[in-house]
Structure 1
Amino acid sequence: MADIESRIQRLEDIEEIKQLKAKYCRFCDQGYDPDGIASLFTENGVWDGGRTFGVAQGRDAIRRH
């Protein structure tokens, strides 16, 4: 039974990640809502836009970026 429970949990985790990615894409497609995008990150999360856009660490920095 534990195997089935762990498999179900894994599927639920994957679905949550998909939903998080979809929310991020919607915020980007709808004009880059800074509050919305920042809300998807933990307080100490890191947004990394590479060489072009740089790095923002923390929800406030992500919001301002």
Structure 2
Amino acid sequence: LGGIGVIETKSPVDMHKVQKLLPELGVWLRPFGKLIYTMPPYIINDTDLDTVCDAIMTVAEECS
């Protein structure tokens, strides 16, 4: 079980740029069209959740 976190951008994200940037930020997520989403487990710790959220925000700002 887990949750879902989603950011919807105005236009499709640059998939190649996103897929290169995310691992550099320490996470592996799969964007889909205009969505950048994560499905973290309920047992995720605060440090890991911060890493995921920071990465999503960075990608949303740089790649949309």
TM-score (structure 2 length as normaliser): 0.30
Max Rg structure: 1
Name whichever structure is richer in helix by fraction: 1
